[in-house]
Amino acid sequence: MIFILFFSVQLILAQDLIQRDIFEVCYSTKKQQPLWLVYEVECQDGAFSRKGLNFKKDTQFAGITSNNADYYKNVWDKGHLAPAADFNCSYKKLKATFNYLNCALQHENLNRGPWKNLEKYERKISETYAVRVRVVLEFDEQSLLLTSGALVPSYFVKILNFNNKVQAYRFPNNASVSHTKWEDYLLTNPYPIIEGCFEDNSY
């Protein structure tokens, strides 16, 4: 069973609410990470190759994002928030997922383990229902500040909306998720959503 404690925090308006073709993202240039991102699953079994595709800076975004230096020789994967496979029925949209606005510092055990399998689940249910997804990155006093400048999220939350149902999953962003199942992280209580693009100014 997962328990969550909620604390009063000081929130400030984040100026970087960005709409792109396949996702909407609230981005923190201070943390050099997304705060949340929303998308809809569009593809279940696309077959375009990812060969030669690498994350790029968004040319329309003037702010600072993470970059290759943040992911160099460490345990942090370049985690897609809007998954490449969810948009792989169009090469143009597949390519659009390789955008640093859609990239987060995600522990390799999470990205390649239960998070990846949860992505498979959302594609499976999208065969029957329209699936809208919100990914929330949580930061706290334990969040690691890299020497390269970016702040590592402490938790990743994925909220699935489909068929008038809401399912929320909350994962610690560390090695403890190794060899676990995504089902283990289902929250039994509603996850609170703060409307708008805000960030906690404490971290």
Question: Known catalytic residue: 179?
Answer: no
Question: Exactly one of 20, 31, 78, 80 is catalytic; which is it?
Answer: 80
Which of these, 91, 112, 104, 108, lies nearest to 22 by C-alpha position? 91
Q: How far apart are CA 125 and CA 157, in angstroms?
A: 18
Output DSSP code: residue 13: E
Q: Which helix (H) or strand (E) holds 166?
A: strand 165-172
- Torsion sign (Cα): 15, 19, 20, 26: positive
Q: What is the DSSP letter of 83?
A: -
For residues 189 and 2, the answer to whether their CB atoms sit within 8 Å is no
Catalytic residue numbers, as ranges? 80
